Chains A and B, each alone.
Chain A
Amino acid sequence: MSRKEIKFLTPTTLVLLLLLGIGGAVGIYRLQNGLGSVTNLNNLWPWGLWISLDVLGGVAMAAGGFIIAGTVYVLNWKKYKPIVRPAILNAFFGYLVAAASIFFDIGQPFRVWHPIVMWQVHSVMFVVAIHVVLYSSTLALESSPMVFEKLGMGGAYRFVNRIMVPIVIFGVLLSVLHQSSLGAVFLILPTKLSPLWHNGLLPYHFLVSAVVMGLSMVSFEAVLSRRAFGHETDMGIMSGLARGSQIALGLYLLMKLWSLITGPGLGAAFAGDFAGNMYLLEMALGVLLPLALFSMAGFRSNLRGIFAANIVVIVGILLNRLNVGIFGLAGYASSLGADYFPSFGEFALTGAMVAFAVLGFKLSAMYLNLYPKAEH
């Protein structure tokens, strides 16, 4: 495997640094002047882009970490070992983005530590908060071998590797719980969230769609790494990920159809109203199209095709998070005369979060041994 020497100051990196700078300035302004100065959030639209995209989307994207780590360390499918480090790192940055977005979104950012000591166990938000703390720590531990290796800390490296299996199992538990609890957050809104999304299985929809998205993110990243760093991932791994995507998509489709038919009915999706159309778009991009593609013979060994399908899945599942967090609530809010569209500041901070994750990953690829030589 050859690897191009990775240059830091590329045009893309400059754009990312610019995004980081603008978003950072917006963030500081927000801390000094309050949410209203930077966002279009209001009493009838308390949550917007930052929660729906940065937090919900960021956490869904990070699911690849627990899936691959679980596959390698618990299922013992060593075939996927070469992608375990980038997958865990991807998850770590996903969580840092989600945590940072929460920090900027809450009204009192410097009280973000309160849920750790002030417990209210009936609140799903409390469950989410504790899990973010615990899982970020778990991811840090899972990522630490790369760092210890680089720093030459052999003792620490060996110790962490010895306890890696229990850590990974704990990470799988935490991931299952908080991916689903983010969906559970919306259970208490039966009169506000459109029945196209609100149903008793919503937490499990979030969990399965996170698996779908996680697999696509890992695969997507593998292809990007090939372009950016010249690192080739074994085609067997890519096909395996595609196969996993196909199975997860199939299960997700069944769940969505079940909830639709036993809930508002198939006709609700085709009602032609805003919510119905967004639902169809989400299903088309996030489920039907990629499922059809991944099910075609030969498609799962076509790298270009896999890359395209991954993008469609990622957009589709992010759209699902936007639907649950924003568009699915729009009907109710509009009926009260309420209005919301993200402000420039909201887009800017989101852009900075994306830039942070991408740059962070790039720096890690440059300075850590992300792709160790295969052991035999």
Chain B
Amino acid sequence: MEDVISPFETALLTLDRLKANEILEETSGTWSPMEQVKHVVVPTLERIGSGWETGRIALTQVYMAGRICEELVEKILPREAPDRKRQPEMAITVLQDYHLLGKRIVLSALRASGYELKDYGRMDANELVQQTLVDQIEILFISALMLPSALKVASVKKQLDQSKSPVRIVVGGAPFRLDETLWKEVGADAMGWDPSDAVSLIGKFTGVSS
């Protein structure tokens, strides 16, 4: 697998869309689109995510790699394709602040991994709670760049608990990376250190691997 993943990673990090597309297409004779996602795209994004965590790869590379993967996967596995993973019901949002990059990166990683989820954009705590309940969301990804926004997760959690929602809350963003206890403090169920954690956390919550 390394002889596919390694050049695929290099193509993504050097923004060589053509090369990345070529590598993925070469596997189409062997694998179905969902298998291509599982064996090539997901492990590559995991490697890129780990690389960012260790300082080997920069955030702009993570973003562009995720975007390219999202485009490539959409070609082989369009949004309406029945093989797309629509369960569990998931949504992603930026809470309160206007810094959307983190959400965008995780959304790309999840869509590139074959998942479909709702993009709530930016929401305040009350509207997020209402929408989560209406849509019967099971896993809610919340991104926050500012500490006050991160602390508002506690209010979201409290209101959802009061409504007896079974939703699992996964948080991510700079404040959570700088204070490793913050996600527990605000009542989240998990924290993503890097974008690829979102995929593994879905597996953890559902008991189904990606």
Interaction A to B: no
Residues of B within 8 A of A (CB): none
